[in-house]
Amino acid sequence: MRLKSHLNALFVEAFAKAKIDAIPISVTEASQEKFGDYQFNGAMALSKQLGKNPREIATEILNALDTSTLIAKTEIAGPGFINLWLNDAWLSEACQNAFQDDRLSISLKLQSQTVVVDYSGPNMAKEMHVGHLRSTIIGDTLANLLTFLGDRVIRQNHIGDWGTQFGMLVAYLEEQHSDTSANLKDLESFYKAAKSRFDADESFANKAREYVVRIQSNDAHCLVLWQRFIDISLQHCEDVYRELSVKLTREDVKAESFYNDDLVNVIDDLNAKGVLTESEGALCVFLEGSQTPVIVQKKDGGYLYATTDLAALRYRAKTIQADRILYVVDARQAEHFKQVFEVAKISDFVPQSVRLEHIGFGTMMDSSGKPFKTRDGGTVKLIALLDEAVRKAKKSIKEPSKFTSQEIEQLAQVIGIGAVKYADLSINRESNYVFDWDKMLAFDGNTALYMQYAYARIQSIFRKHNASIEGKIVIVDPLEHQLAVMLLRFEEVLIRTSEDASPNQITAYLYEVVTLFMRFYEQNPILKDGVDDITKMSRLQLANLVARTIRLGLEILGIDVVDQL
């Protein structure tokens, strides 16, 4: 249901009927009993153009406005605002339709696009860190959302599996020759051990350098070792994905190494386009307005992060045929993406029509405002962080005696992981944010637990009712009216979120829905004696809509619900 679009269409009609030669400015969502459900502020802007005062124009628009269906009441306020109240009968029917529809009346996009979502992208040489956690959570949400809206979504995990450090790691792995997976249990210490060996022993360092060359020239022995290393490292990441119930699989992995054979063509084609300049032996692209050039090949012939990204951009545009490509990567890489996007466009690697977007995000901070690290300055192991979330969640269960120990384990998983994900997704993604256990595991406020709790509470109403739900939705109460309007805004919230790739619009919306429902429910009990059958059935259906809205919203965010809490 696209409420706002419906209203806007009525204004377009009214403008034509009143012979006002302008495109009406869109209505805005108001949602206050006093000022209406929507507001139209266009009259003021037209005043100069038409040489009339805004209230006069507002009156003309209102005279032409069709108020026979969707709009119940109008009012001109202040200098010429038009306040609009929606019709209860219309809302009742729209809610009824949503109740009967699996998709809650949220339609599929008319024009489905192919969208690549590049997210997670951990580096295989080291443990995944919190930056990858954010990318993974936000990226997965965007991929879920676009899929739900009907796009063809291609998830791409651009893992870092190539580079000089692998020579060292593979040489060290070979030297250790005991059980590989045991050695690689802790990637961080393995890396450190290899590095100190490299720094201390010249002959090992030489071997490591030799192995870099051998890996790059497809030497079978080194490649086998390298592959084993990547495999195990990837398994670590998959542990995290599983724990997070993130949908990335092996099929989504398109590693940096996948583009190796194409890098020489990237250079040739950039050259043919005439965009390459040699500078101190390196091959660069100088972009207008950019301080630093994009280096695509080093003096020693080596390629760079940017070269691989150019190959990946071309692959995504030409082979996958993406209409839109989202890069969910730390905001600190903004300059890199700005540059490679531009190079890709001026070199025809990517058609002009393809939307390239860097979906940047801020840094996760600890409570003292410093970037999230372990006490000794190392990276926090994500798996340990998630385990801790589950442990803390277990303690937050209010009445553990209601559940079996197995149920408690499951609940803790859903609550703990949900809390971490929701806390991340509910802030403006571009800002830095403070990782705060107490806040994210709170029952009150804009948290996962608040949503999960509301969901479970509604389920308990249904358990008590314990019969089928029939009859019609009839909106009568003012709070009920507000709730209905809010419920019918879901589709437009999702569309906006998909446009600006900002999941916090979904969480903010869910928070409004649930808060409104809680207020409504407090004043209007559903199953209490004395509530007549028609009202009861109507409210049960509204409660059902609220629950399904929460469930769908959380599902898009990759968060589970439970029937009992």
| Contact between 323 and ligand ARG per CB under 6 A | no
Closest to ligand ARG by CB, 92 vs 307, is 307
For position 312 contacting ligand ARG by CB under 6 A, the verdict is yes
Using rule CB under 6 A, residue 37 touches ligand ARG: no
Contact residue for ligand ARG among 36, 54, 80, 121 (CB under 6 A):
121
In terms of CB distance, is 88 or 239 closer to ligand ARG?
A: 239
At its nearest, how many Å lie between ligand ARG and the CB of residue 332? 9
Of 31-39, 116-124, 505-513, 525-533: span binding ligand ARG (CB under 6 A): 116-124
Q: What are the φ/ψ torsions at residue 71 (nearest 5 degrees)?
A: -100, 130
State the minimum distance, in angstroms, from the CB of residue 316 to ligand ARG: 9
Cβ proximity to ligand ARG: between 371 and 525 the closer is 371
**How near is the Cβ of 135 to ligand ARG at its closest, in Å?**
7
Q: CB of 349 within 8 A of CB of 312?
A: no
Q: Is 309 in the site for ligand ARG (CB under 6 A)?
A: yes
Residues 6+ apart with CB under 8 A from 121: 132, 135, 157, 158, 159, 160, 329
**Out of 37, 118, 243, 424, the residue judged to bind ligand ARG by CB under 6 A:** 118
Residue with Cβ nearer ligand ARG (136 or 505): 136
> Pick from 53, 26, 51: which is nearest to 40 by CA?
26
| Contact partners, residue 413, CB within 8 Å, separation at least 6 | 390, 393
158 is a contact residue toward ligand ARG (CB under 6 A): yes
Q: Write down the least CB distance from residue 327 to ligand ARG, Å.
A: 6
Burial of 80 (0-12, 13-18, 19+ CB in 10 A): buried
* Beta-ladder partners of 173: none
**Closest residue to ligand ARG in the complex (CB):** 121
CB of 160 to ligand ARG, least distance (A): 4
CB burial of 446-468 (b: ≥16 within 10 Å; e: otherwise) equals bbbbbbbbbbbbbbebbeeeeee
Does 124 engage in binding with ligand ARG (CB under 6 A)?
A: no
276 lies in the binding site for ligand ARG (CB under 6 A): no
Shortest reach from residue 283's CB to ligand ARG, in Å: 20
DSSP element (H, E) containing 154 = strand 152-156
Note whether 387 and 416 are within 8 A (CB). Answer: no
Among 24, 36, 139, 160, which residue sits at the site for ligand ARG (rule: CB under 6 A)? 160
Asked if 42 interacts with ligand ARG (CB under 6 A), we say no
Nearer to ligand ARG, 254 or 421 (CB): 254
Region near ligand ARG per CB under 6 A, out of 51-59, 117-125, 354-362, 415-423: 117-125
Residue 160 or 416 having the CB closest to ligand ARG: 160
The secondary structure of residue 118, as a DSSP letter, is E
Q: Closer to ligand ARG at the Cβ: 129 or 214?
A: 129
Distance CA 45, CA 117 (A): 40
| Candidate list 123, 297, 452, 544; residue touching ligand ARG; CB under 6 A | 123
Q: Please, what is the minimum distance in Å from the beta carbon of residue 411 to ligand ARG?
A: 33
Exposed/middle/buried for residue 469 (C-beta within 10 Å: 0-12, 13-18, 19+): middle
> CB–CB of 293/277 below 8 Å?
yes
Residue 139 binds to ligand ARG (criterion: CB under 6 A): no
Residues 6+ away with beta carbon under 8 Å from 219: none
User: Is residue 140 close enough to count as binding ligand ARG by CB under 6 A?
Assistant: no
Applying CB under 6 A, the site for ligand ARG has a residue count of: 9
CB contact set of 171 (below 8 Å; sequence gap of 6+): 194, 204, 207, 208, 211
Q: Which stretch binds ligand ARG (CB under 6 A): 41-49, 78-86, 115-123, 193-201?
A: 115-123
Other Cβ atoms within 10 Å of 174 Cβ, number? 14
Sequence-separated (6 or more) residues with CB below 8 Å from residue 334: 358, 360
Give the residue with the Cβ less far from ligand ARG, 308 or 504.
308
Whole-angstrom Cα distance, residue 3 to residue 86? 10
Q: What is the DSSP string of 37-65?
A: EEEE-HHHHHHHHHTS-HHHHHHHHHHHS
Q: Is 163 in the site for ligand ARG (CB under 6 A)?
A: no
For residue 339, state whether it binds ligand ARG (rule: CB under 6 A): no
Q: Does the footprint of ligand ARG cover residue 252 (CB under 6 A)? A: no
> In this chain, which of 222, 230, 276, 329 binds ligand ARG, going by CB under 6 A?
329
Smallest gap from Cβ 132 to ligand ARG, in A, equals 6
Residue 465 · residue 543 · CB < 8 Å: no
What are the DSSP calls for 334-349, one per residue?
Answer: HHHHHHHHHHHHHTTS
Residue ranges in contact with ligand ARG by CB under 6 A: 118, 121, 123, 158, 160, 309, 312, 327, 329
